[in-house]
Amino acid sequence: MPSTHSTMLLNFAALRSDRPKDDPPDTIYFLTTAIPNDDDWSVLGPFENREKTLPSLFDKVVSINPSALPELEELVALTKGDFAHYNFRTGDGHEATICLEKQQNADVKATLPGPSWIMIVVGPMAVEPGGERPFDRADISTIGGAFTTREGAINAGNRQLEGLTQGRTGVKCGQVEVVYGGLMMFAAQGNTGWTVQVYRERGEIHM
C-alpha cells in the first residue's frame, strides 16, 4: 500500500495533468480554506498571479499544522503552484482543504495589488426557530466575485440575492453593515436562508 505522502503526490500530479500551462492574462487568484470540523471557511485574495499566492499558502498551512509544511513544499514544487485543492490534516487530526480558485476579471487584475472588494455567497442554509443556523460553511460558501468599488460589489450582491430567491414567495430581506465598510445582505423564506456578504479585502476573511 502506498504511503499517505506518496498518494498525495500522485493525486496532485493527476490534478494538474489536464490543466492549461498558462492562465488567461486577466486571471485573478484566491485561496479558500475549509475545516469542516470547526465549521470554518475562509478566503484569501485576490492575488495577481499564482506566485503571489504562495506566501499566504505556506503561512496558512503552517498556522493549521506546521508538520504539513515539508509535504506542501514538495507538492508546490511538483505542481508549480497550479493545483485544484490540497487535502491535509489539522494539528488535531481533522480534515482541512485549501483550494486555489481562479476568476477572469480584467478590471480587478489592473488594480492589483491594490485594495478590492469581495462578494461571498452563503446558502442555502437551514434557519431554525430562535435564529440557530446549523450548516456546513465549507459546503455552501462560494466566492461571488471581486470588484474595484464598494458600490459595484453591493450592486452585484443585490442581483445575486435576487437571482437566488427568484420565483419564491414570502421572502423576507434585509441588510446590515459589517466591519471596514462591508455589507451583509440576507434573505429568508420559511426555514431557508441565504446571505451575500461584501467585504473590503484586508487579509483573510472568515465566514
Mind listing the pLDDT tens digit for each residue in 151-174? Answer: 999 999 999 999 999 999 999 999
Please, are residues 193 and 127 in contact by the beta-carbon 8 Å criterion?
yes
User: Which residues of the chain form CATH 3.30.450?
Assistant: 115-206
Architecture of the domain whose range is 115-206: 2-Layer Sandwich (3.30)
Residue 73: closest CA among 5, 125, 124: 5
pLDDT per position as a tens digit, 79-133: 988 999 999 999 999 999 999 999 999 999 999 999 999 999 999 888 766 555 5
Higher pLDDT, 20 or 159: 159
Please report, in angstroms and rounded to a whole number, the separation of the first and last CA atoms in the chain: 38
Q: What pLDDT is stored for residue 206 in this prediction?
A: 65
For the chain, where are the E strands, in sequence order? 27-35, 40-47, 85-89, 95-104, 117-126, 141-147, 172-177, 183-189, 192-200, 205-206
The pLDDT > 70 percentage for the chain reads 84
